[in-house]
Amino acid sequence: MNLDLEGGRKLATEICAMIKEKPLSELPGSPEVAFFPPFVFITEVLKASEGAADVSVGSQNIHQLEKGAYTGEVAAAMVKSCGATYTLIGHSERRAYFNEDDALLAKKVEQALNNGLTPVFCCGEVLPEREAGNHFKVVKEQIEKGLFWLEKDPFEKVVIAYEPVWAIGTGVTASPAQAQEMHAFIRQIMAEKYGKGTAESVSVLYGGSCNAQNANELFSQPDVDGGLIGGASLKAADFFSIISSF
Ligand code: PGA
């Protein structure tokens, strides 16, 4: 909940102008970019990104049911019908402030996939869990309950975002070694469940105070495939610098 319509449109337009000038396919790593605006701005952000290749739009959330009388909620099919192709699922703020637990998030994953949206499934431990040495266990459980009920084919459509909660919006980034360690662990549990090929093909993003200064070192880690950027995405130049950091 950061910008209004005009601010969101301006930000997306500025970033897309940079991308049109320097196409993503010509940047190191040929990254893909997806914007995740609030529901009400999805259509406008899509319009602002017209003509910018490899840029897509997603929602920050969806409801866990297909349709019905749930006043105020937004279904995956509605998001899809606006032209969005991604949705975040289980961002730590949804887990913490809206009581979204793993069982509910599994239903949201199902809705996303049923409606042709790519779920970006967020996982990550809170500080006391890391301090107690439980971070691997916590992340494994979130992924097992949220995603590992999927068959191999639909699982391959998922993107995972590891976001240690203590790093989100705090300015405290996980060190590249901490990020790599967890990403390698996520890769390993995916390989155990679905095989090495699937584990290699699923993107695992890092999120949590990723910025123009630290992106390159984070993205250089072998198992860090990209980033989920919050605060630093609100400044077009910073965001463009991050997507140029592969
Ligand atoms: P941050 O946010 O980059 O500001 O830490 C990340 C997020 O909200 O996912």
HSE-up of 102 (CA within 13 Å, CB side)? 14
* Residue 197 CB burial class (10 angstroms; 0-12, 13-18, ≥19): exposed
Of 125, 135, 163, 183, which residue is the catalytic one? 163
Task: Give the CATH number for residue 114.
Answer: 3.20.20.70
CA-closest residue to ligand 1 atom 7? 230
User: Which atom of ligand 1 has the smallest separation from the CA of 211?
Assistant: 3
What is the domain range of residue 70? 5-243
Render each residue's pLDDT in the chain as its tens digit; 246 residues: 999 999 999 999 999 999 999 999 999 999 999 999 999 999 999 999 999 999 999 999 999 999 999 999 999 999 999 999 999 999 999 999 999 999 999 999 999 999 999 999 999 999 999 999 999 999 999 999 999 999 999 999 999 999 999 999 999 999 999 999 999 999 999 999 999 999 999 999 999 999 999 999 999 999 999 999 999 999 999 999 999 999
Tally of domains in the chain: 1
Q: Which residues contact 222 (CB under 8 A, 6 or more apart)?
A: 180, 184
Q: Quick check: CB of 161 below 6 Å from ligand 1?
A: no
Known catalytic residue: 91? yes
CA-closest residue to ligand 1 atom 3? 230
Known catalytic residue: 135? no
Strands 33-35, 55-59: parallel, antiparallel or unpaired by DSSP? parallel
